[in-house]
Amino acid sequence: MARAQRELLPATDPVYEFLFRQELKGNIGGYHHGMLPLSRADVAGFLDSLEGAPLSGTDRGLLRDFRVRLSYDRTSTLASSSSFLPDFGFAGMFDDARQKYLYASADSATAIFLDAFAWLSYRAGRGDSTGAADALLGEAGLRLRGTLMKRLGLFIQVSNGMLLGGSHDFALLDPRLRASKKFISDEKKFFDITTGYLRYDADWLAVTAGREQLLWGMGYSDRMVFSNNTNPFDYFRIDLRSGGVRYTFLHGSLVSLDTNGRTASSKYIASHRVEFDAGKAARIGISEAVIYSNKPPLFALMNPMIFLTSAELSSEAVGENGTIDNAHNSIIWVDAEFRPLRNLRVTGTWLIDDFSWSAIGKTSIAANTNKFGVQAGAQWNDALLLDGLLLSLEYTRIGPFVQSHWTQVNSFTHSEQPLGHALHPNSDEWALAAGFDITPRLRLGAKAQFQRSGVNITDADGRVIFDAGSDILRGSGALQHPNRFLDGRRINRIFGTLSVTWQPVRQYFIDLALFTRTFSYVDEGRSLNDTMLWTTFRIEY
C-alpha cells in the first residue's frame, strides 16, 4: 500500500528514540537517525515493519501507542481516531483508545488535520546566581497539516505564549525563549515559535520550502552542527534518496545582530549533507555549510551539486559599503557511526572550521588557522540487562574561536544562539545520559554533564583584555596571540538533570524536570550552586 502522508513528523518527537533503539536491537534497518525529521509516511513504514518483532512488554505498549497515533498514516483510514469538530462529545476528549483531533477530514487523495495544543509551566529556582526566583509561562496554538493529492505535504503552526507571572530574567534560562526576539524586547512578555512549510515528496525526491527544525549529525546528547538549541530557520531544501544513500541540500535565511547591536540586513546559510551506509553496521555522513551576510543571495551557493567551500572562496559580491566583500564562514564536518555489536553504537565527529596544512604542529599565532571540534560517543541499549534502558556517554571538545567569525554576523548562530552544540568554544564536555520507559506512558530520564571552559578575561567595564576564543559571537581576536586550549579564565561547570514524563491519558502529559548546576571559578576558588524545578502540564489535541 502506498503511504500518502508526506508532511514531516517533528524532529523532537519521542518516536525517533524508539526507532533508534529498535535499529540498535536489529529489529529495523535503514533508519537514519543522523538526518531528522522524516516524513510521517516513512515513520509509519518503520512502525509497521516491527509487526512480529521480538519486543519487550513495554516496547510492545509503546509500539501500540505509536501505531494508534499514526494510524491514518499507516492505514489511510480514520477508524482509530476521533474528531472534536463538528460533533462535540465531552466524553471523547478523554478517549484513551483513539487518536484525537480538533478536526480531521480525508478522502482517497487528500487528508487534512487540525490540532490544538497548550501548555502551562511553573518554574522555580533557588541558588547563588538565580536567588529565589520563579516564572509562570503558558502557550496555546493550532497546527494545520495534511497531504494534498498524495504528494504535497503542508504544515503550519500558529501560537502565542506569555509570561503570566514571575521573573523575566529567570524565564530566559530557557534557550528557546532567549532566541525569541519578541520575548527579549518590546514588553518582554509574549513569545511565539512558529513553523510552516510546503513539501512535495516523490519518494526518491522531496522539495521543501518553509521553516522546520532540523537535526543533522551522529551526536546523541547534542548535535555538533544542526541541533535544537535555537529556533528553526527558513530554508529551501532538496532531498534525494536511493537505498542506503541520502543527500540533502538547503539554502536558508538566518537572523543575527551586528557588532553595533542592529539586526543584520541579511544573513544566509548554504549547506548540504550526504549520509550513506558503509556495510550493514556502519554509516558515514559528510557535510559542509557556508554562512554569509549583508549582500544579495549568491547563486554560486544555491547550486545543490557543488563543493560549497570552494564556491564561496571564488565568489565575490558587493557589500553594503559598495566594496567587494568575500567575508564568508565555511565549515566542513565528517561523522560516522558503527554498530559493532547488537545494542551498541559508537560514533565520532570531526568538525573543521578553518584548516591549513602549513600550520599543523605549530604553536605560534600561525597555528590559530586550524580550528577544530571533535565529538566521540557510545550508546548502549538494553544496558545492564534491563530491557529498554538506553545509556549514552559522549565527549565533545570545541576549540577556541570555532564557529565564530571575525565579523559577528557570520558566526554559526541564529538569533544569537548556536545552530549546533550548546557548548561554548574553548571548552570540552563529558555527558552521561540515561533514558528508561518504566511503562509505555511513564518515562524517566537523567543526564550529567561536566564541562571545562577557558573564557575571555574582561576589565571592570566589561572590555575584553584577553580573548580566549570562548565567545561564538566574537571572533575578531583570533590572531592576537597563540590560542591554547582552555587558556583564559577557567570555569568548570557541572549540570545535572532528572526528568519524568507521564501520559495518564492519551495526549495529556505531565512533565517534571529537576535541574542542578554548579559553576566553579577555578582561579578565584569560589563556586555558585543553583537548583531549579520545572513542572509542566500540556495537551496535544
Residue range 176-193: mean pLDDT, rounded: 85
Residue range 176-187: mean pLDDT, rounded: 83
Domain locations in the chain as residue ranges: 15-540
Strands (E), 390-488: 390-398, 413-414, 417-418, 427-439, 442-455, 457-458, 464-466
User: Would you say 168 and 202 are in contact if contact means Cβ atoms under 8 Å apart?
Assistant: no
pLDDT digits (tens, 9 = 90+) for 208-243: 999 999 999 999 999 998 999 999 999 999 999 998
Place of cell 466524553: 91
Q: Write phi, then psi, for 331 (nearest 5 degrees).
A: -140, 140
pLDDT at residue 93, as a whole number: 85
Q: What CA–CA distance (Å, rounded) separates 359 from 399?
A: 15
The residues, ordered by sequence, that sit 6+ positions from 321 with a Cβ below 8 Å of its Cβ are: none
324-325/329-338 β-pairing: unpaired
Q: List 104's β-bridge partners, or say none.
A: 113
Instruction: Count Cα neighbours of 240 within 13 Å in the Cβ-side half-sphere.
Output: 9
Closest to 477 in 3D by CA, of 497, 462, 492, 457: 457
The residues, ordered by sequence, that sit 6+ positions from 121 with a Cβ below 8 Å of its Cβ are: 136, 137, 138, 534, 535, 536, 537
Compute the radius of gyration of the chain from its Cα atoms: 24
Looking at beta carbons, which pairs linking 294-301 to residues 24 or more positions away fall under 8 Å?
A: 294/264, 294/265, 294/266, 294/267, 294/319, 294/320, 294/325, 294/409, 295/266, 295/319, 295/320, 295/325, 296/266, 297/251, 297/266, 297/268, 298/268, 298/270, 301/251, 301/268, 301/270
Mean pLDDT lowest among 191-195, 270-274, 344-348: 191-195
81-83/99-101 β-pairing: parallel
pLDDT digits (tens, 9 = 90+) for 425-459: 999 999 999 999 999 999 999 999 999 999 999 99
Q: How confident is the model at residue 462 (pLDDT cuts 50, 70, 90)?
A: confident
Element (H, E) at 148: strand 131-148
Closest to 416 in 3D by CA, of 145, 178, 99: 178
Q: Please check the confidence at residue 504 and state whether its pLDDT lies above 60.
A: yes
Residue range 103-129: mean pLDDT, rounded: 95
Q: What CA–CA distance (Å, rounded) separates 468 from 526?
A: 21
Closest to 440 in 3D by CA, of 56, 22, 20: 56
For the entire predicted model, the pTM comes to 0.93
Q: Please check the confidence at residue 541 and state whether its pLDDT lies above 90.
A: no
Q: Write phi, then psi, for 250 (nearest 5 degrees).
A: -145, 150
The mean of the pLDDT values for the chain is 92
pLDDT at residue 324, as a whole number: 45
One-letter-per-residue 3-state SS of 319-355: CCCCCEECCCEEEEEEEEEECCCCCEEEEEEEEEEEC
Q: How confident is the model at residue 314 (pLDDT cuts 50, 70, 90)?
A: confident
Residue range 300-323: mean pLDDT, rounded: 75
User: Would you say 44 and 3 are in contact if contact means Cβ atoms under 8 Å apart?
Assistant: yes
Instruction: Count Cα neighbours of 389 within 13 Å in the Cβ-side half-sphere.
Output: 8
259, three cell numbers = 557588532
Q: What is the DSSP string of 48-75?
A: HHTTT----HHHHHHHHHHHHHTHHHHH
13, three cell numbers = 518527537
pLDDT digits (tens, 9 = 90+) for 518-530: 999 999 999 999 9
pLDDT digits (tens, 9 = 90+) for 470-496: 999 998 888 889 889 999 999 999 999
Q: Is the dihedral of CA 466, 472, 478, 482 positive or negative?
A: positive
Q: 3-state class of 202 per DSSP?
A: coil
Q: Please check the confidence at residue 401 and state whether its pLDDT lies above 70.
A: yes
Q: What CA–CA distance (Å, rounded) separates 141 from 195?
A: 12
Residue range 234-256: mean pLDDT, rounded: 95
Q: How confident is the model at residue 420 (pLDDT cuts 50, 70, 90)?
A: very high
Q: What is the DSSP string of 182-199?
A: HHHSTTS-EE---EEEEE
Q: Which CATH architecture has domain 15-540?
A: Beta Barrel (2.40)
Q: Please check the confidence at residue 325 and state whether its pLDDT lies above 80.
A: no
Q: Please check the confidence at residue 4 and state whether its pLDDT lies above 80.
A: no
Q: What CA–CA distance (Å, rounded) separates 468 from 482?
A: 10
pLDDT at residue 3, as a whole number: 57
Q: Sort residue 52 into left (φ over 0), alpha (ψ -120 to 50) or beta.
A: left
Closest to 278 in 3D by CA, of 335, 334, 338, 219: 338
